[in-house]
Structure 1
């Protein structure tokens, strides 16, 4: 239809890490096969993203150690909003199963969790019904498999990640 370039700047999560499959990858491939230049944004999630290899914690070998013995990633959720979080991991090197937990700031009360098993991703959301921003913590827990690369994304209603890795 006369289109030469597609500029895609939306965020899509938990699609096609291991094998470039999924709806977004299929659309990009279809455009490319038709001679259309498909461009996507990069870096829009820099402050609410973490990516790296699973590192066994000191307190619990099945909890990810974000940094030097810290098995919880502290962050804030805006008052009166629902924040979403997505965990995806690379399965090209074997079979892995990780779970995602959101806990209160003390790390004692589970606010949300995703433990679906068998997928290559987990997603959770939580509504902060407080009148003030809430400090919460994310934990990634290994259910099975060894260590592999994974990433966690938050949405626009979360900020102040204790540790972040630009996306």
Structure 2
């Protein structure tokens, strides 16, 4: 009983303080970094709409593996299993979760109208801890980066390395 309470406290405090969590849904190829809020004993996420984070493999009634990193060092603190539930748009639970998410959303393209857009085009999910934490791995879990269409348009300027290292010509 005591270890369960300590695990629950660790999950809650670590998740509250971390700006990003790594979430791997059922059937997803890899874990994704997602911004979130901790609200009423669970993680709340918004996504799967235009301009919002993708939520692959996270389906209502499914499960997810959540990994929380340290805010100062970036290392893995705790991993835990969560049950996934989608909050129905307009419900009291949805309104409470969206009020918290709205305060944490950075650089929203539509400002105050974002909650209406979320209601029309996005999903709001609640990841509730199942009570079990996953033991920390003994091996390296580094993965190759996800494929992306983002590219560098031009090679870096020839003078950039000198500018970055601070070497300048004497006059």
How does the TM-score come out when normalised to structure 1?
0.26
The higher radius of gyration belongs to 2
More strand by share: 1
TM-score, scaled to structure 2: 0.26
Q: Larger RCO: Structure 1 or Structure 2 (Cα < 8 Å, ≥ 6 residues apart)?
A: 1
